[in-house]
Amino acid sequence: AQSVTQLGSHVSVSEGALVLLRCNYSSSVPPYLFWYVQYPNQGLQLLLKYTSAATLVKGINGFEAEFKKSETSFHLTKPSAHMSDAAEYFCAVSRSGGYQKVTFGTGTKLQVIP
């Protein structure tokens, strides 16, 4: 079984401040990990993914995440928040290999304060 826990359903940061969205996973086998972003009334857009290569993964829009096996974490960060980053962010986990079911976290809504 696999699962992800996103700490904090809502996170508020000031524009220009560090963004940190937390994700912890549980998996009995080596996982693949993903971060997706969802804007209102839209589908999900892939930000970045970890698939057992480099543990520090860089994604689009200046986001990055670090896979820490010892902490079973995959936190998402961005050095400087922009107003356009306001959205809902989902962490997700799947087993390694193709066609694996993806399990999503409950999401974190990011608010950016001007």
Partner 1 sequence: GAVVSQHPSRVICKSGTSVKIECRSLDFQATTMFWYRQFPKQSLMLMATSNEGSKATYEQGVEKDKFLINHASLTLSTLTVTSAHPEDSSFYICSAQELYQETQYFGPGTRLLVL
Binding region for partner 1 (CB under 8 A): 32, 34, 36, 41-46, 49, 51, 90, 94, 96-102, 104-107
β-strand partners of 34: 49, 92
Residue 72 — left, alpha, or beta (φ > 0 → left; ψ -120 to 50 → alpha)? Answer: left
Closest CB 101 distance from partner 1, rounded Å: 6
Would you say 92 or 112 has its CB closer to partner 1? 92
Beta strand 108-113 pairing with 10-14: parallel
In a 3-state reduction of DSSP, which class is residue 15?
coil
Q: Calculate the alpha carbon distances from 90 to 12, 78, 114 in Å.
A: 16, 15, 23
Closest CB 106 distance from partner 1, rounded Å: 5
Closest CB 55 distance from partner 1, rounded Å: 16
Would you say 22 or 49 has its CB closer to partner 1? 49
Would you say 10 or 68 has its CB closer to partner 1? 10
